Amino acid sequence: MYIIIVGGGRVGYYLAKALLDEGHEILILEKSSTVCETVNEELGSICYRGDGCEASTLAQVGTGRADMLVAVTGEDEDNLVACQVAKHKFKVPRTIARIRNPSNEVLFKKLGVDVTISSTNVILEQIAEEVPTHPLIHLHEIRDKGLEIVEVKIPQGAATVGKALRDITLPQGTFLTLIVRRAQKPLVPEPGTILMADDQIIVVTDPASEQELRKALRGS
């Protein structure tokens, strides 16, 4: 794939390095000449000096044939404009923006950016995973489908411990996919499966049903 990365800072640099290793054609657009030189010395001539928000620069690097543009500068507004110019002027099929302010996610989606990545949110999710008492952990969002994969842990003494799955009413559109049980192989949930304390249940759900799902599985 031909992937254009806007911003040659730390994020852009390591992203380019990883994608080059996977065999992709990579081009970094970077405003600063010194940053550009460093990248070119270390990764080979893949950095082009220019403003990734300018249509003329994007035209020079053949954005029209790019499969993807990833904007990872430190400024949300620059990342938004780079993605919008790529999308509307050059019809790039996939645009991805890094965002600093998590509340910009909704706006960026509304304005046509395909994927947003908020480092703040990523770290928050990681923290949630590390906190053992956290009742529901977000594992993966299924983009554009309004679904997500979450993990629900059954605590000691929960009202649902010892109950069979057929006796538990789940919210509509929720699917239990896997039960990870201590010292056992993961098992596929069946109506007769009995819940045990410390079970980790992997569930596909609609984000709006999270609370109801948690209550159904944990009894509170």
The residues that touch other proteins, with contacts defined as CB under 8 A, are 53-56, 75-78, 80-81, 84-85, 88-89, 101, 103, 107, 110-111
Paired with 175 in beta bridges are 204
- Compute CA distances 59 → 4, 54, 68, 114, 209, whole Å: 12, 9, 14, 21, 45
3 state SS of 196: coil
Nearer to other proteins, 53 or 202 (CB): 53
Contact 5, 29 (CB under 8 A): yes
Contact 65, 55 (CB under 8 A): no
Nearer to other proteins, 89 or 143 (CB): 89
CB of 76 to other proteins, least distance (A): 7
Helical spans, DSSP H, in 3-155: 10-21, 33-43, 55-60, 76-90, 104-110, 119-130
CB of 133 to other proteins, least distance (A): 31
Instruction: Choose among 53, 60, 62, 56: nearest CA to 7.
Output: 53
Nearer to other proteins, 86 or 201 (CB): 86
Contact 47, 40 (CB under 8 A): yes
Contact 82, 53 (CB under 8 A): yes
CB of 54 to other proteins, least distance (A): 7
CB of 170 to other proteins, least distance (A): 35
CB of 3 to other proteins, least distance (A): 22
Tokens 């411990």 correspond to 161
Paired sense of beta strands 25-30 and 2-6, if any: parallel
Nearer to other proteins, 87 or 153 (CB): 87
Nearer to other proteins, 110 or 145 (CB): 110
Nearer to other proteins, 88 or 140 (CB): 88
CB of 81 to other proteins, least distance (A): 4
